[in-house]
Structure 1
Amino acid sequence: MVAASAEYWVVALYSALAVCGLLGNIWVMLMVVTELCGCCQPHSSHLRPSKPLIQCSANAYLLVLSVVDLISILPVPLLAVDIIYNEWPFGIVLCKLLFFCEGANKSLSPLILTALSVDRYIAVCRPMVVRLRRSRFTIVVLFTSLTLSLFFIVPVLHHAEVNKMVDAKDQEHEKCVVQMSKTFDLFHIFACYLLPLLLIVSVYTAILHRLYLHTRNSSVGRRTSISLSRVVKCSVFVVAFYFICWTPYWTLRLAAALQGIFHI
């Protein structure tokens, strides 16, 4: 009875988070699409985008992040059934879909967040390098991030399977599982968590240092820094929220991988 009650609480928590994530991401997508439409409209007097370039490129990354996050919410109803009945009745296709949705969030999101952070760095510290922040370059970066993430998603899809497992009561259950090598796990952790985290911390440290120096120099610098800092704050919040939420998962996965290698 206690175990069943705990399972329903877990499902309720999953459902609440899924609804919040669904509504939140739809709201963000609508706001970002509106901003991007403003970027595409030429200014009446100067025939140039009506929104600053710093906002347009950032909005493109935020839009893709919202889409990826929305994709990761799709399999929540399947997980709810699996938790309640301790059974995966949906077959191999939906099993692979589950790991695809999870993999997109784990592998693609940190790469896009890294690209977003580098974009903020160029905007604040290297504003003259305009060609690296045009829409065509942003599309290339997003496509490259997607390609790199597939190196981690495809192997997981290949190994995902529905197996019969025996519980503590010697009862068989079909479960959607995947078993990857410890080497793969360590490389995944390094490429999609540790390295992006290191790059992002370094980039935002440089940004804050640049804004601090810019603020000290002149009153014009102070006004410019305030404008830039408002744009940077949104990016910092998104990045910080992602890593705060995912750090426990990656930490446990790292501990499990090291335990398997060193037998500790």
Structure 2
Amino acid sequence: MLDTVRPWDELNSDERRLFIRMAEVFAGYVSYSDDQLGRVLDFLESAGELDNTIIVAVSDNGASGEGGPSGTFNEWRFFNGLPTPAELSLEHIDELGGPTSYNHYNTGWAWAFDTPFPYWKRWAGYEGGVADMCLGAWPAGIDARGEVRQQYVHAVDVVPTLYDLLGVEPPEVLKGYPQNPIEFAANSRNADPAMPGAAATLTLYMDDQEIGSDDIVTQPGYFCVVGDGICVGRDDASPVTPGYEGPFPFAGGTIDKVVVDVSGERYVDNEAQVRGWFMID
């Protein structure tokens, strides 16, 4: 995947003009969003409610790689398996950022925008596009002022954290409908600063069959061996066939990393599919 970042000195003048415009469009979007958030904060301050308002700012993800090495004026081309050559996007350069486009910058910008983490969301590998900042403020209710926390949190942490702060106990039944339990409750957070994250039990599954489990500090959830790789959490993608037999039994202990061998006749089609994704991107 590293070769999908095109070096600047290998771009022709039209490609450079296109990529510069893509960065300008993104900068404009960020500036506009910042301005609109500022309007909300200015109103709260003028109303005397800023200090007593809980503010949480978090993004869906960081920079992503759907634009491919040349970016795209319409991200739906990516979703439909169609590459977008720079020449095609150049025909729409004046539409980028407007209502007739669904543009996405190229992977070179994605890597740069995810600094200091390498790579990007989708094929992250090194937290680029995945490890985003979460900003929180409540001057009237929280003593902390400007401190940086290194623990990992997740979007699902926001609701249970707010419940804890406000002393709210969510109902088990609402309008006659039983409610799912709140996932990743805030009290699972690990207190050891040398081990940021949540203390939980990680369980390794092969489809619905439990292979083994161990206590670790991480984002808790199902640890799935899936057709496209390893997944922790709810997005378990396409499970590997139940007929797959791992070469070694899971015996517990410390998990340094997990490598899934998808070589051999059984996985020929899957390997071809992954190669196709790389070619598209």
Q: TM-score, normalised by structure 2?
A: 0.28
Higher strand share: 2
Q: TM-score, normalised by structure 1?
A: 0.29
Higher helix share: 1
